[in-house]
Homo-oligomer: A and B are copies of this chain.
Amino acid sequence: MTIVVKVGGAAGNALDPALDELANRTDYVLVHGGSDEVDRLGAALGRPAEYYTSPSGVVSRKSTPAHLEVVLLALSGAVQTRLVAGLTARGRTAVGLSGVDGRLLRAHRKQGVRAQVDGRVVRVEDDRSGILDSVDPTVLRLLMGAGIVPVVGPPAADARGELLNVDADRVAAAVAVALSAAALVLLTNVEGVRRTAEDPESLISRVARSEIDGVLALAGGRMKKKVLAAREALAGGVGSVVIASSQGKDPVARALAGSGTVFE
């Protein structure tokens, strides 16, 4: 059985525990984001990221062409290489893939992206955000069949090879669906979904399918995207989805054993 593990790139995420653990198995695809690296590199290049909040309350970066360049540099040039090198250093062979490699992540451009600004809804201009249409698992299967770990990150590409920014959690869900994965583990900088964002005691440990939309309404900001990803993965036939902490030893095994928030 295949699993998909997504590691986060935001502040507070640990990477070494997951790499230490994942170096001992080959039954998975590793998916990554890298928001911290994108922010850092954008600042170093004098192109800080801009965010907008959609009318439904989801916070996203503006994907201008200049920003998409920064995303690509940060994800393919820094985060992905770090993960591949980290697995290699631990004895595991890996290959980094963006969505254009092997036509892995196919998207189309989001039309009419809108944002809330000062209570008004305005159009986001020149946005290169994509909506993920399909995952072609050919190259993933090819690599896994040879014992090589695929390490996958945004962006995706349209049919003409034009790059489009997509959310890494949604990528992880789509990859899990394409591989009929037994489980999707989304590691993050908190222990799971909380009923109240500021209260660590309010962790939700189990979410049945019928409850997901309710949890979606509770979750804010980036956690909302993870819950959306969980919903998409379950709807696509993935056995279970766990949102769990990246901190501490064996975070993947602990997540699969039921720590964090389990959607099933």
Contact = CB atoms under 8 A, between A and B. Distances in A.
A230 interface: no
A78 interface: yes
A74 B75 CA distance: 12
Nearest to A98: B81
Nearest to A155: B81
Interface string A77-120: 11011001111110001111110111100000000000000000
A45 interface: yes
B97 A103 contact: no
A93 B102 contact: yes
B76 A81 contact: yes
Main secondary structure of the interface of A (DSSP, over half): helix
A101 B89 contact: no
Task: Point out which of A69, A81, A97, A148 has the most chain B C-beta atoms below 10 A from its C-beta.
Answer: A81
A212 interface: no
A89 B161 CA distance: 5
B138 A146 contact: yes
A190 interface: no
A88 B143 contact: no
- Residue of A80, A87, A101 with most partner-chain B CB within 10 A: A101
A72 interface: yes
Contacts of A101: 84, 94-96
Given A85-B162, A85-B163, A88-B103, 5 more contacts: A76-B77, A93-B103, A96-B98, A102-B148, A142-B146
Interface of A: 41, 44-46, 69, 72-78, 80-81, 84-89, 93-98, 100-103, 138-139, 142-143, 146, 148, 157, 160-163
20 contacts: A41-B73, A44-B46, A69-B78, A72-B77, A76-B96, A77-B77, A81-B98, A81-B100, A84-B101, A85-B162, A85-B163, A87-B161, A88-B103, A89-B162, A94-B102, A95-B139, A96-B98, A102-B148, A139-B148, A142-B146
